A and B are shown apart, each in its own frame.
Chain A
Amino acid sequence: MSRPSQSGTPQTVAQAGAMAAAAPQAAAAAAPATKKRRRPHLHVVVFLAPAVLIYTAVMIFPLFNTLRLALYTRIDQERVWAGLANFQTLFFDPIWSEQFWNALGNNFWFFLVHMLVQNPIGIALAALLSHPRLRFAALYRSAIFIPTILSFVIVGFAWKLILSPIWGIAPSMLDAVGLKSLFAPWLGKEEYALTTLALISVWQFVGIPMMLIYAALLSIPEEVLEAGEIDGITGFAAFWKIKLPLILPSIGIISILTFVGNFNAFDLIYASQGALAGPDFSTDILGTFMYRTFFGFQLQLGDPHMGSAIASAMFAIILVGVCIYLFGIQTRMRRYQL
């Protein structure tokens, strides 16, 4: 396989989404020159049909149907048009809005912890790993990536056990370094639980920014670094002044991936704290809130229409985030031709 020469060719899978916006111009420009434009033949239809049908039927149609369902409500087993009443309830009815804003706020905090902890650690690990002549790099890389492949259920329970005051691994380890007084049942305290879960999620997913940044760092040509060395820029300075600006596009992609992933998160909270996102909803995020609402829990019956309204809100948030990234950040970011 040849190396892509133009900067428009995606470097990572993750960039795929980002590239979608740039694709039309490129494709439109390339099309008339290289390929013959003709009417679809039967075999083209046969090639496309299964993918387009499944994708449309199971992904796109339900997505819009969910947005539509948010505009209805159920009265006596009948589905009736409700306009924006569900959203009005969600945003302004005290019972609902309190939960919604709580979940949204928690979700933002969850995202912030990832941005402030996961991505810097990922970048630092990648910087270490990409060092030339570092031995065992492949071994470290594979080992650090292991948590990322585990399911949320395993991660959630494993940490729940380790942090449990009953088992006492965490307190006795803190005791060993003389910090026992710092121990608290972190997952059981309202003020710490969400941050603890966010850090567990960071622990699990640090491998992804690490790998993507690592790939970006490897693609920096040696000549650029050597030119810096001649000018006396080495070590840390080389990282800050040469490498970091060059990997900014990858950092942008990681940020948007983190954003979409976090505002769609559910599994970790559900696996470790249950659908009620305890203690006292302090770890409730949009995913768990939507699950509870539409599926029901304990004595409350599920309400698919309110669930759809929450899903629509999540859709809007993700859409706004992706648009900010695509039009506000990605297009303005300076890309260097390497």
Chain B
Amino acid sequence: MELLTAVAVGALFGVAIFQLLRRNVVRSAIGLILLGNAVNLFLLSTGAYDGRAAAYAGELAQRSDALPQALVLTAIVISMGGLALAMAMLYIVSARYRTSDLDEITGLRY
């Protein structure tokens, strides 16, 4: 379980950062989604490192920690709102320039 989450978090981060750096604005928005999910999975894994016990708690309890789950819940809501906002701005920008290629969005270039 530990290995599985570690690999999943790593793979998500890798894909997310690759997508984030793409020229296509839609792809980079997908990168943003993946980045949010990667960090949420990481936060979740801090609470239940091997799926049963809290990482720092040692032998105290054989149950997963509820706090990171609450944190992840908050983070999910925030990243959803952020994504909606990013999509709205992306729509305006790409409609104005009639392109989804970041290299052709030249308004800020002087």
A, B in one complex = no
Taking Cβ atoms with an 8 Å cutoff, the residues of B that contact A are none
Taking Cβ atoms with an 8 Å cutoff, the residues of A that contact B are none
